[in-house]
Structure 1
Amino acid sequence: MASNTYNPALFEDKWYRFWIEKGYFHADEKKVLRGEKPKFSVVLPPPNVTGVLHVGHALNSTLQDIICRWKRMKGFEVCWIPGTDHAGIATQWVVERELAKEGLTRHDIGREEFLERVWKWKDQYGSRIINQLKKLGTSCDWSRERFTMDEGFSKAVKKAFVTLYKEGLIYRGKRLINWCPRCHTALSDLEVEHEEEQGNLWYIKYPIVGEDDFIVVATTRPETMLGDVAVAVNPNDERYKHLVGKKVLLPIVNREIPIIADEYVDPEFGTGAVKITPAHDFNDFEVAQRHNLSAIQVMDDWGRITVSPFKGMDRFEARKAIVSMLKEEGFLEKVESHVHSVGHCYRCKTVVEPYLSDQWFVKTKPLAERAIKAVKTGEIRFVPKQWENTFFDWMYNIRDWCISRQIWWGHRIPAWYCKDCGHINVSEEVPEKCENCGSTNLYQDEDVLDTWFSSAMWPFGTLGWPKRTDDLKVFYPTDLLVTGFDIIFFWVSRMMMMGYYFMKEKPFSDVYVHALVRDEKGQKMSKTKGNVIDPLEMVEKYGADTLRFTLAALAAQGRDIRLSEKIIEGYRHFANKIWNIARFIFSALENVEMKEAVSYAPEDKWILSKLSKTVEIVDKELENYRFNDAAKAIYQFLWSEFADWYIEFSKQRVYKGTEEEKRTVLHVLLTVLRDAMKLLHPIMPFLTEEIYQKLPNKDAESIVIAPWPTSEFKFEEDEARVEIIKEVIRGIRNVKAELNISPSTLVDIFIKSEDDKLIETIEKMVASIKQLAKVSEIHSVSEASSGCVSFFLPGIEVYVKVGELINVENEISRIMKKLKDIEKDIQKLERKLSNENFLKKAPKNVVEKNRKELEELKEVSEKLARTLQQLKHLQ
């Protein structure tokens, strides 16, 4: 091979260009229609057009790519559709920030010019993340790339909105939503970032009307009390049962409001009595709906108070003024420090306000029923299964979905208001006149649709819906969705609802939910902590394959990934190991005329049998999305079995064998290398292509389209016998290590076995045993002399002659001292692990580490004790 060391920079870009030029990632729907191939389809979760590749994207796309490449090699016509999301608020924020540098706002230049600027920005920067995904080796069908605001997708969005509206599932109404006073728009729950903050609990006295008494209410937001319409207690709270139905006088405002009973109230929080402000709290809004209470709005959309005597004040300024007035008038009982979760706008970090506003909503309850049934019956399955509970929790308690946003970038709501009669005209095309009164005096709604509304149609909108295209016919429903747990509510569940509603079919069969990538200490990565790992830097430094294998190897189901550069660097050694395996084999091929193998040696049958088993394991693990177990099986086979054992076995025949032996061993080496590269290809596509292209026995133009290896080699008995021989070699090495004999020192061994086939295998592999265990002669036990240390394996006894190589007395003394030291360590660990305080307080991984260490020490102790006994017999 051209380079002595693994250098991915020399070939990764080259092979990606080759794959694109050859069109290997393009799915041909006609092959499926003609019945030539089964289909496998996936949609890439569309990253924000503003985004740059982070390690979560790298994990998500790597796991999808592994499955897609595997399915492609298994003979499926794989359609993996990529694309980007227009990311309404995020993109508008970026462009507004650029405008601010010119001293302008979007209002200064107007909607039309502002949108022109956004499109220009998108054309210039919008493909960054797609190009970065390509650097990772992502095998999407780029000819089918979509954007959530391209012309076809825009038609799909309008069609969906109009259909849902005309069928009574979209309505305009006044409801509570998340509102950013800075961005001046409604936000989805996902666009609200909750942070723990140090705040206060203010305990306020509400006088009971007609009595010389009061009820104390605890609140974290005293400024909203101006809009209180009730005080609520739990119906089972004995402290307040006698007050239910009475009224209190709202301090400062002097308005009478009722005391009501509702299960929502937590008797343990504060005083067990809470103020109800339906216009400014989601839970309060629900309580008010149940008790037919009106909502009083006391804040405008800039977060300013709208009622006297605090009118015009910012909400936080008003908070101070209200607390001060409560204190002066004797209504403030006490103040306590209190840590609570506060919602912030994910863009500008402003504290979000629950806000009563006229918005467009989707009635989700009717849509949710079919999606719930699909998961219950297994029609759609979550992997790991535990995420079903998260899905059900959300879906059973689902609220109507606010889909309007007060920004300019996005799908403008296709609704036109009649200035003459007030009728709302909803239409896919611009209406010429009001459908109610015939007036032409119409104006379009200023709002745009929530980004999640358009992305909810991603599985079928990308395939051409509402047209009945061949793509839609062939590739819908899709087979797999890979996503993060944080958007099960906002995206996954909504794709299900829209898929069943518009397509009458599920949007996908399997939802694989991957974990979060954390730093090596288990902390969430963030720029402020300085613990972010940039995947592009890791690709530059270690290669895309190394990063991909690391992510796959760590992707255990249901467990967060702890990632560090050190771990990535460790897997680069694996890539280098593979490179060196290939270099050894290719150098051995020089000047050898390759022919079919004549007769397999035992070790040939052993490695071919191991190869077949590895194929079966990898197939099974990938089928169940156990990426880490698939990676582990390949790693174990290539490093431990192929490199550490078979290649060492093979060297005797490669360098000293007959022509026939050399041809046979090279045939096996090439067969195993070729099929092992195929097994590894879905995880490490670039390295495997580089090696595959140099193989004399390659079976396709590219490894991308090469057939997946079969598990055709079944040599169970030969495999078992070679496993025993490996243990014999290990046993001899261990004896030398335990007795301080140099590994290179030659020893005589004596064997006893009644298994004739095992003896025959030993005879065939005698050269390898001598070389790998550094043995001078192998005798039958009848020739054994004194001075031997023995060990026993299934079907065989092995005696290693050491008497002349060691000072028995010194060795006995040394081992006894070592056993004493080990016994002290064992006792220390046993005391620690029997200490209840340690078991309760120590981190789980520390306890496990101690238990493992104890097991290992006991194992070493047992081995040394056996050796000691044998040495005493030599005295």
Structure 2
Amino acid sequence: MTEKTQAQNQASPAELPTQYAPAEVEGKLYERWVERGYFEADENSGKEPYTVVIPPPNVTGSLHLGHAFEHTLIDALTRRKRMQGYETLWQPGMDHAGIATQNVVERELGKEGKSRHDLGREAFVERVWQWKSESGGQISGQMRRLGDGVAWGRERFTMDEGLSQAVQTIFKKLYDDELIYRAERIINWCPRCLTAISDIEVEYQDDDGELVSMRYGNGDDAIVVATTRAETMLGDTAVAVHPDDQRYAHLVGRSIQLPLTGRSIPVVADAHVDPEFGTGAVKVTPAHDPNDFEIGQRHDLPSLTVMDEHAVITVPGPFQGLDRLEARSAIVAALRAEGRIVAEKRPYVHSVGHCSRCKTTIEPRLSMQWWVKVGPLAKAAGDAVRDGRVAIHPQEMEKRYFDWVDNLHDWCISRQLWWGHRIPVWYGPNGEVVCVGPDEQPPSGEGWTQDTDVLDTWFSSGLWPFSTLGWPERTGSLAKFYPNSVLVTGYDILFFWVARMMMFGLYAMDGTAPFGTIALHGMVRDQFGKKMSKSFGNAVNPLDWMDEYGSDALRFTLARGANPGVDVPIGEEWVQGSRNFANKIWNATRFALMNGATIEGPLPEPERLSATDRWILSRLGETVAEVDAHYDDYQFAKVSDALFHFAWDEVFDWYVELSKTTFQAGGEAADVSKRVLGEVLDVTLRLLHPIVPFVTEVLWTTLTGGESVVIADWPADSGFRDAAAGREIAVLQQVITEVRRFRADQGLQPGQRVPARLRLSGTPLAAHEAAIRQLLRLQPEGESFTATATLPVAGAEVALDLSGAIDVTAERKRLEKDLAAARKERAQAEGKLGNESFLAKAPEPVVEKIRLRLAKAEEDISRIEGQLGRLPSA
């Protein structure tokens, strides 16, 4: 039992409105928390640190359900740790989102009839900064709506001065260590955004295309290849077959004619080719396909680029100047005219990559770019998990992590944009290449130019856990709050963001991993498990639900669905249910305050407690221990379920109801129960606070008079347990539940009172007679009492006089009709299950369904026969 403070300031229940109105309190409460500095972190405190970074949302973004879900989980963790006495830092900030932001500003310019080229690079970048200051970052206000307890005083932006210095520092360090280099490789190219993009920015979807089989060569030298991108045949420099494929052994090493081009290309043997797929022969276009590029490297083939950055054909001849799709149709027509089309399949559904920003089809393209040599960095990232320095939760996600880092290709980090961290490399007039660090002067003089590309956004966000704390300076914040305690993020960016943070953190911070635990969650889906998307018509704006039901309701719904690494279905009716839970907490606390529940003074000694008091205090201790264990295992759904069932089922539906009789009777027992109820509510509200912070803040401060539940102590398990009291209350609950069920079966209204005789002597229930009668609406038996129904339950006996309470004839007729239907259902099921011919032919699922029907029918028959037997005589 925790020691209470400021109890003398306990507020009056009159201060609580009869109904909870989230919209009237949430915004005011949040601003009060921020003004009082509850969420700020002190690097000079002696408390143990607990650090979590926010996965930085895009500056162009707005709060979506995925953000709301992730932020709810992080906020729950950090609020609990703050209450436990840690120096807690939830680091906020935003990502500059290179492509997305540049696209937004370019669209704004388009409305003015201008392009970025009309402004020039410097003026365009100034325009982006202007947009950022005026329109960017609306998500910050939306995070406040959700209740995010972030340290706003430490907010960072991936292109602010300090983070820019960090980016330039690590680029220089990697360059000097020969882990950054420039080379011509195949990249993902967006012909609309005119830049290379990362794998994470490519969205794959099934498109209707065409599969064309074409004959290269003539006569005995002929060979058939198939492609969905016929336009790339203009850049073919070989045909490849498997070394063991005897069908083409005679062609390996020879040259065949490439149609439409006047060129001859060799046939090469390469183990990459699958001889079982298609014809077993593939066209090789090294400049326009990543696999073909690798084949080209192995066989020293030339790489011919046949399209410009706009995906327009550049090869001299009849197709020059055509868009790639126009060229595709024209080339197929030309091949058909020459009799070289062997087969055409359309529509041919296949997976095609699209730019996630503008939805344009991605074009694999050979391009000179900057790369990170990830081999040694990826090995270090894998070793940190293998040797236990970093734990991945749930553990089964480790395999996906290792599959990625153990097979990581070098990372293309340059982007052909103007908005972003410009690559700190200068080129001289005589071919000089100079990489410049943050404290170095770039070379000057005639002929020196800086690289025009900027860095991939993931490069700067990969530094997030330490750059936000002041690195490369050895700041007090860095010493206090690095490494992070945990990273909470979606499994979908395990590879792209998490792996990069691991590589950079270990590299820059002397082998210290950026976090101790990686806690992965799933994606939010609709109530049917379908991915949310505007195109599907099932996307939800979380702000709408917060407006309608309150932020606590949305948060509780999201947390209750959060099983580690598993996708989270959510529907509006579930948010409505959570709103009802918030209202239940409000109403029950208000009732308790109106009836004198208090936290003043110590808890009474166990010998002064009733069995009901001892039971709820025992369950309170067990719940504290259960919630702690689930939090430590990142089992947010189990935390939420444990709190929901304890609060609603046990505190509100049982303890509060059982205590009403005690309160009415008054005296010492009532005073004891009021103190116990105050204790239970105090602890329960503190347990609930990390997930539902707003309603608990109002109720806890009203109950206790404390300053804020945000800075209250996290409850400790009292260690109090009373198994005997638990068994006694379980029997009491059984009696009340069984009699309630009987009343419902007899058609009695919930508030309808009936005379009853209770035989409770010799059972632990004797002390609870007044509560039993009140909860079951049972009057004393009276002189004319006639027992028309008797229920033996748990060693006790409840006799009821239902004469005049129900229409026995009508009720018997209804039940007999139901019984006849159940018996007919049983007979039909037994008939099918007794038919050997049916059992031999019917699928097992069909048979199992009939078995279930039979079991259900037998259960109904037993129940209805029992109801009929308990009916009074007509």
* Same fold flag (TM > 0.5): yes
Q: Is the 8 A contact 1:433 1:440 kept in 2?
A: no
Structure 1: runs of 5+ lacking an equivalent: none
Post-superposition offset of 1:64: 0.5
**What is the rounded CA distance, in whole Å, between the counterparts of 1:623 and 1:829 in structure 2?**
49
Seq. identity, %:
46
Instruction: In structure 2, give the amino acid aligned to 1:23.
Output: G
Post-superposition offset of 1:857: 6.4
Post-superposition offset of 1:175: 0.6
Q: Is the 8 A contact 1:205 1:331 kept in 2?
A: yes
Mean CA deviation greater in 125-134 or 283-292: 283-292
Are 2:578 and 1:571 aligned?
A: yes
Which of 258, 279, 283 lines up with 1:271 in the alignment? 279
Instruction: In structure 1, give the amino acid aligned to 2:464.
Output: W
Post-superposition offset of 1:813: 6.0
Q: Is the 8 A contact 1:383 1:513 kept in 2?
A: yes
**What is the rounded CA distance, in whole Å, between the counterparts of 1:141 and 1:797 in structure 2?**
59
**What is the rounded CA distance, in whole Å, between the counterparts of 1:575 and 1:248 in structure 2?**
76
Cα separation, partners in 2 of 1:51 and 1:350, compared to 1, 3 Å: same
**What is the rounded CA distance, in whole Å, between the counterparts of 1:841 and 1:323 in structure 2?**
52
Cα separation, partners in 2 of 1:359 and 1:790, compared to 1, 3 Å: same
Cα separation, partners in 2 of 1:241 and 1:820, compared to 1, 3 Å: farther
**What is the rounded CA distance, in whole Å, between the counterparts of 2:828 and 2:491 in structure 1?**
42
Cα separation, partners in 2 of 1:173 and 1:867, compared to 1, 3 Å: same
Task: Please give the residue correspondences for 1:618-697 in structure 2 after superposition, counting only pairs within 5 Å.
Answer: 618-654=627-663, 656-695=664-703, 697=704
Q: Per the alignment, in what secondary structure is the counterpart of residue 51 of structure 1?
A: coil
Which residue number corresponds to residue 103 of structure 1?
A: 113
Which residue number corresponds to residue 350 of structure 2?
A: 340
Which residue number corresponds to residue 721 of structure 2?
A: 714
Which residue number corresponds to residue 365 of structure 1?
A: 375
Q: Per the alignment, in what secondary structure is the counterpart of residue 863 of structure 1?
A: helix
Q: Per the alignment, in what secondary structure is the counterpart of residue 11 of structure 1?
A: helix
**What is the rounded CA distance, in whole Å, between the counterparts of 1:506 and 1:827 in structure 2?**
67
Cα separation, partners in 2 of 1:8 and 1:785, compared to 1, 3 Å: closer
Cα separation, partners in 2 of 1:416 and 1:854, compared to 1, 3 Å: farther
Which residue number corresponds to residue 621 of structure 2?
A: 612
Which of 233, 241, 244 lines up with 1:233 in the alignment? 241
**What is the rounded CA distance, in whole Å, between the counterparts of 2:408 and 2:523 in structure 1?**
25
1:506-537 per-position Cα deviation (integer Å, ceiling 9, x unaligned): 11122222222122233222223332211111
Are 2:40 and 1:26 aligned?
A: yes
**What is the rounded CA distance, in whole Å, between the counterparts of 1:423 and 1:751 in structure 2?**
97
Q: Is the 8 A contact 2:603 2:676 kept in 1?
A: no
Which residue number corresponds to residue 484 of structure 1?
A: 490
Post-superposition offset of 1:200: 0.5
1:752-799 per-position Cα deviation (integer Å, ceiling 9, x unaligned): 78xx6xx2x4222111011112334599xxxx9986544454xx2545
Mean CA deviation greater in 308-317 or 50-59: 308-317
**What is the rounded CA distance, in whole Å, between the counterparts of 2:252 and 2:828 in structure 1?**
63
**What is the rounded CA distance, in whole Å, between the counterparts of 2:685 and 2:29 in structure 1?**
15
Instruction: In structure 1, give the amino acid aligned to 2:661.
Output: Q
Q: Is the 8 A contact 1:728 1:798 kept in 2?
A: no
Q: Is the 8 A contact 1:748 1:775 kept in 2?
A: yes
Which of 768, 773, 786 lines up with 1:770 in the alignment? 773
Cα separation, partners in 2 of 1:450 and 1:595, compared to 1, 3 Å: closer
Are 2:437 and 1:427 aligned?
A: yes
With a CA cutoff of 8 Å and minimum separation of 6, indicate the structure with the bigger relative contact order: 2
Q: Is the 8 A contact 1:602 1:764 kept in 2?
A: no
Are 2:756 and 1:748 aligned?
A: yes
Which residue number corresponds to residue 821 of structure 2?
A: 821
Post-superposition offset of 1:630: 1.0
Cα separation, partners in 2 of 1:670 and 1:238, compared to 1, 3 Å: farther
**What is the rounded CA distance, in whole Å, between the counterparts of 2:614 and 2:344 in structure 1?**
79
**What is the rounded CA distance, in whole Å, between the counterparts of 1:677 and 1:853 in structure 2?**
45
TM-score by length of 1: 0.90
Q: Per the alignment, in what secondary structure is the counterpart of residue 511 of structure 1?
A: strand
**What is the rounded CA distance, in whole Å, between the counterparts of 2:437 and 2:443 in structure 1?**
11
Q: Is the 8 A contact 2:371 2:413 kept in 1?
A: yes
Which residue number corresponds to residue 295 of structure 1?
A: 303
Q: Per the alignment, in what secondary structure is the counterpart of residue 329 of structure 2?
A: helix
1:391-417 per-position Cα deviation (integer Å, ceiling 9, x unaligned): 222222211101011111111110010
Task: Please give the residue correspondences for 1:108-257 in structure 2 after superposition, counting only pairs within 5 Å.
Answer: 108-207=118-217, 211-235=219-243, 237=245, 239-240=247-248, 243-257=251-265
Instruction: In structure 1, give the amino acid aligned to 2:707.
Output: E
Which residue number corresponds to residue 504 of structure 2?
A: 498
Cα separation, partners in 2 of 1:537 and 1:871, compared to 1, 3 Å: closer
Cα separation, partners in 2 of 1:256 and 1:149, compared to 1, 3 Å: same
Task: Please give the residue correspondences for 1:444-483 in structure 2 after superposition, counting only pairs within 5 Å.
Answer: 444-483=450-489
Post-superposition offset of 1:107: 1.2
Which residue number corresponds to residue 325 of structure 1?
A: 334
Q: Per the alignment, in what secondary structure is the counterpart of residue 595 of structure 2?
A: helix
Cα separation, partners in 2 of 1:433 and 1:578, compared to 1, 3 Å: closer
Post-superposition offset of 1:824: 5.2
Cα separation, partners in 2 of 1:839 and 1:292, compared to 1, 3 Å: farther
**What is the rounded CA distance, in whole Å, between the counterparts of 1:340 and 1:841 in structure 2?**
36
**What is the rounded CA distance, in whole Å, between the counterparts of 2:631 and 2:200 in structure 1?**
31
Cα separation, partners in 2 of 1:718 and 1:216, compared to 1, 3 Å: same
Post-superposition offset of 1:469: 1.1
Are 2:537 and 1:530 aligned?
A: yes
1:350-401 per-position Cα deviation (integer Å, ceiling 9, x unaligned): 2111111111000011110011122233332222333323222222221110
Post-superposition offset of 1:232: 2.4
**What is the rounded CA distance, in whole Å, between the counterparts of 1:827 and 1:818 in structure 2?**
14
Post-superposition offset of 1:111: 1.2
Mean CA deviation greater in 561-570 or 468-477: 561-570
1:813-837 per-position Cα deviation (integer Å, ceiling 9, x unaligned): 6544323434556788998999999
**What is the rounded CA distance, in whole Å, between the counterparts of 2:579 and 2:563 in structure 1?**
20
1:641-673 per-position Cα deviation (integer Å, ceiling 9, x unaligned): 11111111111122x222323322211221111
Which residue number corresponds to residue 12 of structure 2?
A: none
Which residue number corresponds to residue 82 of structure 2?
A: 72
Q: Per the alignment, in what secondary structure is the counterpart of residue 226 of structure 2?
A: strand
Q: Is the 8 A contact 2:754 2:802 kept in 1?
A: no
Task: Please give the residue correspondences for 1:26-105 in structure 2 after superposition, counting only pairs within 5 Å.
Answer: 26-31=40-45, 34=46, 37-105=47-115
Q: Is the 8 A contact 1:39 1:475 kept in 2?
A: yes
Mean CA deviation greater in 12-21 or 733-742: 733-742
Which of 288, 312, 318 lines up with 1:280 in the alignment? 288
Q: Is the 8 A contact 2:597 2:678 kept in 1?
A: no
1:160-218 per-position Cα deviation (integer Å, ceiling 9, x unaligned): 0000000000001111111111211111111122221101100101226xx53522111
1:91-124 per-position Cα deviation (integer Å, ceiling 9, x unaligned): 1111111111221111111111111111111111
**What is the rounded CA distance, in whole Å, between the counterparts of 1:79 and 1:391 in structure 2?**
27
Cα separation, partners in 2 of 1:869 and 1:652, compared to 1, 3 Å: closer
**What is the rounded CA distance, in whole Å, between the counterparts of 2:842 and 2:320 in structure 1?**
58
**What is the rounded CA distance, in whole Å, between the counterparts of 1:422 and 1:772 in structure 2?**
89
Say what the alpha-carbon RMSD is for the aligned residues. Answer: 3.1
**What is the rounded CA distance, in whole Å, between the counterparts of 1:651 and 1:291 in structure 2?**
87
Q: Is the 8 A contact 2:235 2:304 kept in 1?
A: yes
Which residue number corresponds to residue 702 of structure 1?
A: 708
